[in-house]
Every structure is written in structure tokens, then in C-alpha cells.
Structure 1
Amino acid sequence: MADQVGIADIETAAARIAGGVVRTPTVPSPGLSAALGAPVLLKLEHLQRAGSFKPRGVLAKLASLTDAERAAGVVAVSGGNHGLAVAEVAGAARVDAVVVMPRTAPARSVAAARAAGADVRLTSDIAAAFAQAGELRRAGRTLVHPFDDPVIVAAQGTVGLELARDAVALGEPPTDVLVSIGGGALISGVATAVHALLPGIRVWGVEPVGAEAMSAALAAGGPTPVAISSAITTLSAPSASQLTYDHVRALVHEVLVVDDAAAYRGTLTLAEHAGIWAEPAAGCLVPAARRIVERHPDARLALVVCGANADVADVVRAAAQP
């Protein structure tokens, strides 16, 4: 595990991206606490620029490039949020960007990435998107990988650094932190940070049924391809990476799996009880939190609200499905 990220890497990343991202708040949620029957803190990363945590990693990665690499341009593959972040950050930095997305990516993310100046290319599925991004990398572009990069993991870990420091300042350190998993960069970085600052904490990952890349990796003893059937495209990585698998295996208490319908209902619960609009990638934390409270009635929870890029009509329609 030569590439495993440490707290010093995360602190370095925090200094590197300072001023380029929003320092999002961590707040208690009385409404969600009442609904779940346990104290709840929310890390409001859905307020980040581009509507998700992703710009942290992208900004750190672009800052690490040489002049020649910046001139050659970058390429990214994404189910939505990562591509949007690459488009916005690269556009602001005047770096040419190609973003490859599956056709199932949210239309709003595709449109926003194009509006930010990226060359957005659509493929049949996420596996084909990764394949095309690989071709563009071999042609000379730098790949801004959504999760298989220590620079990205360290920068996403700044979410956990802020959460832990804010929780201590509030006098409400959690016993359990919940983080959604796509490819695993966010949970890898957050788990590294909170374990360093809040000893004894439990970190839980959450995946949707039909996008269980990390659960499959843990069961197989290493990254393995999975078939994607979940409608939650922002969590639909076709495989974990060795980097993220190693972090999760070492630092995450357990990965819970919830179905899409429960995730969409969780989004509505966050709206109704916490007064925030989040995407289903964050909504999936709510049913997982209920299960944790059932197991640990004295739990104090912290939920990382990872993004807000979801259409209201789509969520309401999906939540109504039996």
C-alpha cells in the first residue's frame, strides 16, 4: 500500500486548494435527528461549487500538472458530478478538457459541463466511457481520474478534515460517519482524516444495489468488475481501484447496500426533515443511518451530503415507485 494517503497528505491538499473551493459548513440537524432517533450532523458538501465535493480533487490535480501537461489538455470520465467539476475547474484555468460520460448521465450535468466549455462525449455505458478516456490519455491528455489517484483521494479527504474539526468545535463529535461510495475516493480520504482526528470512530460506506463495486471488491479480496444496473449514475463506478479498496479495507467499519427506491426516498427525507436538497447519492445515507441506529442506539451520526445535482421531478417520480 505504497500509495496510501495519510493525514499529512490531506493537510497539504487543504493548503493547495484553499481559496479555490467553498469551505462548507458542518451543522446539527434537529429535524433529521428527530426522524432518525439519534443526534445528526450534516457536512453540507452539496453547497460546494459545481454542486458536489468533486472540485476539491480536480483543483488539486490540475494544480499538480506541469505546464506541458496543462497545454496538452485533460480528459475525465464521469457519471455526472466529476465531469461537471472537471469542466468548471479546467475552464476557469483555461485548460482544454474532454469529458466522457455515459448516455445515462443526468442531462443537467451534461448541459452544464458543455456550458463550462468542455468537449462532452457520450458513450453507451460507463465501461465504454472509461475505455474512450483511456484512448485519449494514450493520445497525450492527462487523465483526471475520479478516484484512482492519491492526489484526488487526499483532496477529497479535506471534507473529512473539515467535518472532524467542526464537530469538535461544536462539542458534538460523532461516533459514526456515513459516506456514499462510487469509486471510493471520498470515503478513502474522509476515513483517513476522521480516524486521525477522532480516534475510535466508525466509518460506514453506503452503495446502491446494482452499483456495488466496493462491496464486490471486499468480498473478492480486491477490485473486480461489476455490472451496473442502479439508476444512481453518480455512484456507478464499474470497479473500485486498488488504491480505494486498500483504504476501505483498512479504515471502513462496514459497507451497507440500499436499493435505489430507498435512496430516492432518503433524498425526500433530507428535504422534508433537514431542509436541504440533495441528490440520491446522498439520499442513500438515510436508510443506512436507520440501520446503524438500530444496531447502535447510542450512535451519534455525521452524514456527508456529497452533492445536490438531481432534478426534483426525477427524484419524486423515482421515490413513488413501489
Structure 2
Amino acid sequence: MVSIEEIEAAAERIAGYVVRTPTVSSPGLSDLLAAPVTMKLEMLQRTGSFKARGAAAKLLSLDDAERTAGVVAVSGGNHAIAVAMMAATLDVKATVIMPRSAPARAVEIAESAGAVVRLADTVEAAFGLMEGLRTEGLTVVHPFDDPVVVAGQGTLGLELAEDAGELTDVLVSIGGGALISGVAAVLRARWPGVRIWGVETEGAQAMSEALAAGGPVPVALSSIVSTLSAPTVSQLTYDHVSALVSDVVVVSDAEAVQGVVDLAEHAKVWTEPAAGCLLPAARRVLERVGDGARLGLVLCGANATPASVMAWGERLGLR
């Protein structure tokens, strides 16, 4: 388990490379949900998502030989952008492997930052290619199976704990689980009674299926939300979630995309479906916990174009 001391050390290490993003109350969402809502605006982070934290933490931990050899990462979008941009900042050669389903904009950004981008037919194939490059001497910057990356993502939780009034329920999206693992480690240490809720989309249910199976299992991926589409979680993130998280809520792709629109309308913020999924999940959490809840929503990123959101909405039959 990653300790809060490790996360505090990561926060000191990456402080000059990431943004301390705002934590603000949302009158619009509070009215919509009939409960006080606080938002962590991580889509304002450098690279447009929380992934900059873990990428910076890992790259800053490399020794000279590892920096010279370079790094490799697999991503459905945001991790690739973060590794590419942080590697450019730190003068480290980076290769990022992305499934062909990844957003074209993410591929463009990673390439423009100077990374070598390789495309694979599937997420599973991308991870296989990453392992091959590991054997050639590149250091893997894994999106979730690395305690250094988990500690880096957990720095978001430190800021939330310091900047928000005490919350009863905090919702965090899950792909591979590094973000929720780090955030839960902090918040459960600072606020022992807080409930942490994970959120996944149907067709990207790696953590909820792991919890049902008693450990990580391969899952079939079909969600449009590529940034949540991990083919399995790791033992590391499973251990954190099973110990620290109250439950994982699964919503549909349509609900996640509608959540993007509703956040724009009611909270006046632009996000991606990986963050939009928190809004329908919040309604379900409130039904379960009843009155007196004070919600925190970790809006993890905003690397989706309006055109993409409109196209998803049309495909899913949303108005």
C-alpha cells in the first residue's frame, strides 16, 4: 500500500512541474443534486488531466542511465499526452503506444510534444508491445501498476483535503485505478470516515469485475470512453480499492456523455466523459447514503473536443 508519507514526498518532488488546481464549490451542481457539491478542477492541470502528476513523479525518479535509455508508456489518450509533455520538459526520450481507437487529437498532441507514437490494433496489443520495448531497455511508465505513479496521482488528494471543507463522499473515476488508489490513501488518512466511490463505464469495468472475482481479471472492452478502458487493473490498485473504497458505481456511455453536457450547463466547466460519468454516479450515491451528504467530484480531465462529444451524443441517441 502506498503511504501518505510517500504521497507527501511526491508532492514536494513534482511541485515545480504541475499546477495546484482549484477546489471550488458548485452552486449549479448543488442545486441540481440537492446536496452541497465541491469540484476538484483537475481538467485545468497541465496536459489537461491529472496524469501529469504521475508522469512527473515517475520521470523525476529516473536515474541517469534510465533517462538516457528513454521511457515507454501505453495510453488511451491522457497518459500518453502527460508522458510526452513531461518527457519533453525533462529532456527524456519517450515512446507512447496507443490503440487505434484513441482520440486523434491525443495522438497529435503526443507527437507534437516530441514523443514517438506507435499505434496498436487493440489496448491489449499495445500493452504487449510495451513489454517488448521494456526488454530492449526502455523504462516503463505504467499508467497504474507503479507505486511511484500512484503516489504522484495521490497528490491531488492532498490538495483536496487541504482546500475543501470536510466531505462525506468523494467520487473518482477509475481506468486502471491509480488515481482512486492515491486519492483514497490520502483521504482515508485525513478523513477516516469519508466514503470513496469509484466510477466506471459499461464496457470498461476492470475494477468492478476484479472486485467481484477477488482479484484482477482480463475484461472485454467496448466503452467509447478510451481514457477509462484498461484491459485489467493491477494487484496494486486492486488492493487499494478493495481496502479503501466503499463501492464502484457503473454507468452507461450515454450517461457519461450526457454528464459532460450537464456539467457544462450546470457547473460551467468543460470535461471529458471520464469525468462526465461522475454526475450520474453522484445521483446514485445520494440515493444510497441519504440526507446530509457533502459531495466531492474529482473532475479528472478535459481532453475531449466538442465535435467528439457531439458525435458520441448522436451515436448514442442523446438530444
* Cα-Cα RMSD: 0.7
Q: Does 1:303 align with 2:297?
A: yes
**Take 1:134 and 1:39, find their aligned partners in 2: how far apart are those partners?**
45
Counterpart-to-counterpart distance in 1, 2:91 and 2:5: 30
- 1:60 corresponds to: 57
Equivalent position amino acid for 1:188 in 2:
S
Correspondent of 1:23 among 20, 24, 34: 20
Normalised to the residue count of structure 2, the TM-score between the two structures is 0.98
Is the contact made by 1:37 and 1:293 (CA closer than 8 Å) also made in structure 2?
A: no
- The whole-number CA distance in structure 1 between the counterparts of 2:98 and 2:233 is 18
Give 2:172's aligned amino acid: V
Q: CA deviation at 1:43?
A: 0.3
CA distance in 1, matches of 2:216, 2:303: 28
| Code of the aligned partner of 1:31 | G
Shift of 1:298: 2.0
Count of residues paired in the alignment = 315
Shift of 1:13: 0.6
Aligned match of 1:314 in 293, 299, 308? Answer: 308
Letter in 1 for 2:298: V
TM-fit CA distance, 1:319: 2.8
**1:23: Cα distance to partner?**
0.4
Q: Distance in 2 between matches of 1:316 and 1:273?
A: 18
Aligned position for 2:79 = 82
* Alpha-carbon distance in structure 2 between the residues aligned to 1:72 and 1:318: 40
Q: CA deviation at 1:311?
A: 1.1
Contact 1:231 1:260 in 2 (8 A): yes
Q: Residues 89-168 of structure 1: matches in 2 within 5 Å?
A: 89-167=86-164
Tell me the alpha carbon deviations over residues 237-269 of structure 1, each in whole angstroms, 9 at most, x when there is no partner.
000000000000000000000000000000111
Give the alignment of 1:94-243 within 5 angstroms: 94-167=91-164, 172-243=165-236
Q: Deviations over 1:139-193 (max 9, x none)?
A: 00000000000000011001111001101xxxx3110000000000000000000
**Contact 1:262–1:319 under 8 Å retained in 2:** no
* 1:268-307 correspondence to structure 2 within 5 Å: 268-296=261-289, 297-307=291-301
TM-score, with structure 1 as normaliser? 0.97
3-state SS of 2:310 partner:
helix
For residues 73 and 193 of structure 2, the distance between their equivalents in structure 1, rounded to whole angstroms, comes to 36
Write the distance in 2 (CA, Å) between the matches of 1:174 and 1:20. 28
Name the structure 2 match of 1:253. 246
Amino acid at match of 1:132: L
2:193 partner SS:
coil
The code of the aligned residue for 1:63 comes to L
- Please give the alpha-carbon distance, in whole angstroms, between the structure 1 residues aligned to 2:47 and 2:100: 20
Superposed CA deviations along residues 19-69 of structure 1, whole A, max 9, x for unmatched, are: 110000100000011111110000000000000000111111011111000
For 1:269, give the aligned amino acid.
D
**Are 1:42 and 2:70 an aligned pair?**
no
Deviating more after overlay: 210-219 vs 296-305:
296-305
Partner AA of 1:48 in structure 2: Q
Q: Structure 1: how far apart are the matches of 2:170 and 2:77? A: 24
1:33 aligns with 2:30: yes
Question: In 2, distance between residues paired with 1:97 and 1:295?
Answer: 44
Deviations 1:268-296 (A, max 9, x none): 11100011000000000000001111222
C-alpha distance in structure 2 between counterparts of 1:199 and 1:140, whole Å: 42
- In the alignment, structure 2 segments of 5+ residues that lack a partner are none
Q: Report the secondary structure of 1:100's partner residue.
A: strand
